Every structure is written in C-alpha cells, then in structure tokens.
Chain A
Amino acid sequence: MINKKGAALGLIIFLIVITGCGVAQKQTTGTQTSDQVVRYNLGAEPETLDPAKMTGMVEGTVANALFEGLVRYDDANRPQPGIAAEWHISDDGLIYTFRLRDAKWSNGDPVTAEDFRFSWLRVLNPDTASDYAYQLYYVKGAEEYNSGRGTAEDVAVKAKDAHTLEVTLKAPARQFLGLTAFQTLMPVNRQTVTKNPDWYTSPVNYVGNGPFLLKTWEHKQKITLVKNPNYWAAGDVKLDKLEIYLLEDDNTAYTMYKTGRLDFVERTPAQEIALKKNDADFRIFPDLSAEIYWFNTQRKPLDSPKVRKALAMSIDRAAIVEHVTQAGEKPAYAWVPFGFTEEPAPADFRETGGNRYFTEDAAAARSLLAEAGYPGGSGFPKLTLQFNSNERHRKTAEAIQEMWRQNLGIEIALAPKEWQVYMADQAAMNYDISRSGWGPDYLDPMTFMDVFLSGGGNNITGWSNSRYDSLIAQANGTGDNSLRMKAMHEAEAVLMDEMPVMPLYFYVNDNLIRENIQGIIVPPFGTYADFRNAYVE
C-alpha cells in the first residue's frame, strides 16, 4: 500500500518537473521581417571595434558598416570614391593626392584630411601595438616610425588643407589605393579619440563616418546597427537596422536560420550542403583563396622536384571537391586563384594563364617517382602529413592518403594537430607536408606570387629559385602592366614546374541569404559582406 503511495508521489514529482518545463512555453515563431531589417550572423565576437587594432575579417565586416575609408569597393571589386571624391597618382606611382568630399562624422563634425593623418599615425605609433600596422609600410617613413627607428613627423602623410591629403610611398605599390578601403586605414574622429581613449568600447561614445551607427553591443550575442543620417550618401542606405549576431557554432547559426531567426548565415554545415545546394537561398560567391599542401623541400625525398610533382599528379581533385567539400569548389592546377584582374586588358589572371600547369596522371606520376629512385614506391620513406584538427581537413587528408597509396604505392602518416601547435611547427619548418588555406592581402596576383621569394617570411617550404626571384623583381620594378603580368605568368610556370606547393582546390564563398534580400556585396576577400546598398524586397 505504501509502495503504491510512494510510487504515486514519485510519479507526481517527476511529472511536475517534466511539465514544469512547459510553463515558459510560448510560441516564438520565426517572424519574417517586412521592415528594412537584416539579421546576419557574423560568426564570432569582434576582438575590438577600434579600427587601428582590428585584424580579421570579422572586425573588417563591422568596420565596413561603421566607417568609410578614402575608397570603398563596389560589387565588381573596383575601388570607388568613398570619403575621397577623387584622387591623383603621380606618373612615377609615388605620390597619391586625395581630394576629400564634404563628409560628416556621426556626431556632426566634418571629416577632414587631418583626421586621416591623425588616424594613420595612431596606427603606426609603436605604443598602439597594431597587428596590421604593416599595411601602412608602403608609406615613406612608416616602417621606421612603427619600429622605433623614426619619428611621426617623418611619415610622409600630409594634410595640405581640410580637403586634401597627400601621401608619398617609398616605392610604387599598385595595391595602395585599394588598401585605403580597409579597416586599418579607416579614419577615426580626432576629437573623440583625444578626449576619450576608450571611445570604441561602448556605443555611447562611439563615433563613425560609415553608413551605419553602433546602437548596442551585447558581447557574444548581438551588435545592433542603425542607419547613420550623417553618412554622406545616406540616401543610398535603405536598411533601417542591421542586426549582427555573434554566434560561433555553424550548426547553431543554421538552426537559427531555419527557424526564421536569421536572414543571412555563412558556412552552411557540411552535412547540410547537399540538401541545400539547389535552393534559391543558397548563394555562391567567388573567393580568392586556395587550399594547398606545402612540401618541405629541405627534407628528403621532398627535395626532389620529381617526387613533388609525382605527389601532385597522383590525386583526384574532382573527387575531393565533389565528395568532401561539396560546395562547388574548383580543382586547382595552378597557384593563383581565379578572380584577379589581368591588366591592362580587363581579363582574369587565371583565365589568361590557364588552370592547367600539370595534369592528373597516375601512370606519369609513377614513372616520375621511379626516375627519382622509388620504382613502385619501394624504398620511399614514410612521410607525415600535418593539418590543423578539423573534420574537413581530416577527410581530405584521408582521401589523399588513400590516393597516394593506390596510385604510387607509398604510405603517408596523418598528423592532426591543435591549431597553435600546427602553426608553430609550420613556422619552424618542422613538418614534411602541411596543409594551409591561403588567401590574399590585396587584389593583385602579387599577393600570392611574392610568397615564394627566396627567404620570404611566408615561404615555409625552404624552396628558392633565382629565376623566380628575378621574374618577381622584374614585375615589381616595371610600371608597364603587360610586362608585369607577363613576368608573373612566367614565374608561376617556374613555380608549378618545381612544385614546392601543391594546389588542391580554389575556395568558393557559400552563404544562405533569404531570397527577398538584395544588394549585399559579398567580397572575395578581406570582409564577409558589405551592407551599404542592401535592402529587403
């Protein structure tokens, strides 16, 4: 009898707790917004909202909404007038004169040339310890000031009057104009910064000059921006509000999108791509990055170009992009990705050079390996392939391990590593074969090509080639664009013939964006998205 009562009591408590969970239940249906509001997931908490200290694409994306540099990129990746209405570049490519338009800060102050000078010197001040200060090293005197060997006065940035900014470079650098669009070179309001050094940590004191204003910042949750009425082109801005979510987990963001709580998410979870890829809201944009494997050319047998080429020729890239990555990546048979403009004729550098510096041919690869002294893979030492622990990198590495085993008869060990250990081993050249995703710093093939200069800081393969070096020097030394491109094409041929790096595939940028949202620019590098012209239909 008591047993029954006890049972009843237990059951009641159990049920109360279970149903108690339902007390808070209220239907929160995903509302499709009809107003001019976009809810976008940025994917991480910005490390800072001070443009001088920003580094990554996360921060750059927010900066692009809150600020405007001298120029701003359009949807065809061309620098267009931003705060600078026009500019003049001297014939020797050294002196840039920017004519600033009548623009205002969000607090109503005019944006002046002095603001730019002040901001750039602030970035270069060694005490600021800006990671990206080197973006300004093209300017005469900048590197000296930043490294403590020069003074602020010797940095060649002059505010000739309120509307004229004159910049002198230490050597011609065609990429400089485009760099003025990026976060490091964005202006900050001099009065605000001087008066309140912590101005960028809270929306209350925040002053920008971009299309949007910082309204709220809930750490690790959400940043809310509203239209900036003081933006010089406020008439072009159609969104009233931009909600930037800071959710790190791709699956979580995807669920939020599916339940109608987000309008725009990046990086569809791998297991969902196959289901989503034919839907209209699955939108693919170009990306200027490449997935590659570095070879340590200082280690045997990878010191032999024949071995390196045999490895590159004996894998099936189409199978990898089709079955592992799945989002429509392109197999890569060259170093520089698609999307860089070939000048002077408007063409694509990759199209002109072709994506076929080598072919996939298992038989030819086997004979190269035999020529190098390893017929049928016999006697080939067991190399290690390292990658940063990640589902996709592991699957790719396992596929390649199997392809090499079948096609060349060699065994490779896989070494997944924690991110920092992986970077440290890579920098110390403590590896045989190592993966990377490589992206550009600016919109010119040179950003890829100069990686392999002998002794270059990012040349972690130990490879060096005097002909390559002289071709790159030739390209950097000429003002003639067709000669420049020709030299770079030749250098790429040398590189692919020697194969210190094995290209795997060129990335694509896949996003889920609601069909009724238009006008968002998804650039191929640098930032995730520009919302200046976005609108809801």
Chain B
Amino acid sequence: MAEYIMHRLVNSLLGLLTIATLVFFLMHAVPGGPFASEKKLPPEIIQNLNARYHLDQPLWKQYSDYMGGLFRGDFGPSFKYPDRTVNELIREGFPISATLGIAAICIAVTVGCSLGIFAALNHNKWQDFLAVGLAALNYSIPGFVMAPLLIYVFSLKLGWFPPAMWGTAEHLVLPTLALAAGPTAFIAALMRSSMLEVLRQDYIRTALAKGLSKKAVIYRHGIRNALIPVIAYLGPMTASVLTGSFVIEKVFAIPGLGEYFVTSITNRDYTVIMGVTLFYSAILLAINFIIDIVFVLVDPRINLKGSGRLKG
C-alpha cells in the first residue's frame, strides 16, 4: 500500500510539472497579450509595461523564473489586477468556490443516490419512469439555462431568494441547485442501473436464500456494492462541478475562483492562467488519488499485491 501511494504521488507531481510546462508555452503561443488594447499604446508605454512584468525577457528566462517562483509557492502578480497577487486571488476565491462545490456535491450524492435506489426498487413502475424522466430532464438542461430559470422562478416571481451575489445562506441556495442539477441526474441514473445489476447478482440470491430479510439484503449487500460506480464518478464529478462553476459564478455574481478560469484566458493574464490551472490540476489529482485509496478500502475485489491492476 505504501509503495502504491508513493508511486501515485510521484506520478501526480510529474503530471503537474508537465501541465505547467505545456500551459506556459501554449499560452505564450496564442496571439494577443495582457496589455493589448484596441487603441494603440505608444511604444514607450508598452516598453515600460513589458519591463515591469519582465515580458521583455526571452521566453526560456520567463519560464525558468516562473518555475522558480512556483517551487517557492509564489504564483506571481496578476497582470490585469496589478495590485493583487495570484496567491491572493486563489486564497479569496477558492473557499467560496469550494463552499458552493461541496454543497452541490452533497446534494447531488444524497438526492441522486436516493432517487436511483427508489427507481431501482420500483423497476418498471410509474415511480421508476418518473424518477428516470426527472433525471433525464435535469441532465439535459445545461447550467446556463438552469440558472436563469431558477432565478426567474424563485427570485423574480416568488421572491424567495436573492437573484445574485454572495454572503448569506440564502445566497447559496439557487447557485447550489443550479450546479447540482446535472450531477444529481447523472448519479441517479448511475445508481439505478448499478442497483438493478447488483440485485440480479448471485450473492444477493444467496443472501435471500439463506433467509436474510429483503431489507437487510438491500442495505447490507445491495447498496454498498451498487455505490462503487458512484464513487468512481466522484472524481470526474468534482472536475465538472469545479469547471462548471464558471457559468454559475458568472450568472450569480459569485466572487469565486471558477470565473478566473475563463476570464484569465480572455485577458491573457498569464500568471492567473497558470496559477488557476495548476491549482485546479493539483486538486483534481489529489481527489483522484484519494478516491483510488477509498476504492481499495471499499471494493473487496481489488487486491494491490496480487494483480496490480490499479497501478499507474
């Protein structure tokens, strides 16, 4: 197990390094720059700006300076917001995005799993069709439609919740629902089919045959095994919730980190592009790492020493 963890850790760090290098050179290859404007600035002004941000140095020098800073945990200053560092932007924005993301994931998992189990237990009955229909509807409505829809109904028409901004628990409700809608539906569908499959397994029949109550079988054997694909989905879901928060944060005017993910590219705010990309990559790698470990603990079929099938 220790060897496996070490192996995964080294791989993750190498992955981050590769991402940093690729993104650095790709973003410098794209046309434009942080100080481009429609009206031309005099050359002296551009020169002063480039000198201040060391953009007048050769690219390899900029790269090595940046990587040097990175090893000291310094993401550098933002070009667009000259008074603020990328570290500050992340420190202020991430807790907000994380609150929103965690709330959405909790809702997605609880509602999604309940709905999936409920549908599976009522297989091919109207409850099943209702649950599947609801899930399909949720899944097919993208966030940028769901968010204005929620605002229209719950804020503009009913006046229950504020339409935008951040600060109180009330502000959390609509963006969380908008962000959770897609993953909830996906988990419901996943849980339903997984549950149906598990219920057909021999060990379920064995358990029933040896006289366990159906309730006990479902709780002790059914749900636990059916959860495995859902756990596997947590990694990609975290990714989609994090990146998907861009639209939600924009529509609800939430001062999170998700928005920088896109606006920094439009602004060619090099340091913010790097900082946000690396920060998110690190989080995703960490989450996948944790999930793999959880897998080992949950799934009795995985044996690291024997087959080594999860290595790498």
Contacts and interface: CB of A to CB of B under 8 A. Distances in A.
A207 B253 CA distance: 29
Interface residues of A, number: 70
A47 B159 contact: no
Interface residues of B, number: 66
Contacts of B163: 252, 255-256, 259, 261
Given A24-B170, A48-B82, A424-B32, A134 B127 contact: no
Contacts of A13: 110-111, 114
Interface in A185-229: 198, 200-201, 218-222
Contacts of B148: 251
B13 to A, nearest CB: 32
B32 A134 contact: no
Nearest to B158: A25
B80 interface: yes
Nearest to A47: B81
Contacts of A424: 31-32, 36
B51 A126 contact: yes
B41 A134 contact: yes
A126 B46 CA distance: 11
A45 interface: yes
Contact of A10 (B32, B117, B156, B164): B117
Contact of B255 (A5, A29, A221, A458): A221
B5 to A, nearest CB: 35
Given A26-B170, A218-B255, A7 B48 contact: no
A49 B84 CA distance: 12
A421 B83 contact: no
A24 B169 CA distance: 7
Contacts, number: 176
A420 B52 contact: no
Contacts of B139: none
B32 A420 contact: yes
Contact of B31 (A48, A256, A420): A420
Contacts of B31: 420-421, 424-425
Nearest to B78: A47
B10 interface: no
B47 A249 contact: no
Contacts of A280: none
A271 to B, nearest CB: 11
A75 to B, nearest CB: 27
A497 interface: no
B118 A421 contact: no
Nearest to A258: B156
B280 interface: no
A28 B170 contact: yes
A156 to B, nearest CB: 18
Contacts of A379: none
A212 B11 CA distance: 55
B47 A220 contact: no
B252 interface: yes
A24 B168 CA distance: 9
B301 interface: no
A242 B110 CA distance: 43
- Top 9 A-B residue pairs of the complex, sorted by shortest distance between their CB atoms: A10-B118, A420-B32, A220-B255, A147-B44, A129-B52, A424-B31, A13-B114, A6-B121, A457-B40
14 contacts: A17-B110, A53-B82, A130-B45, A131-B41, A134-B41, A134-B44, A134-B45, A146-B45, A221-B255, A259-B159, A418-B266, A420-B32, A423-B36, A458-B40
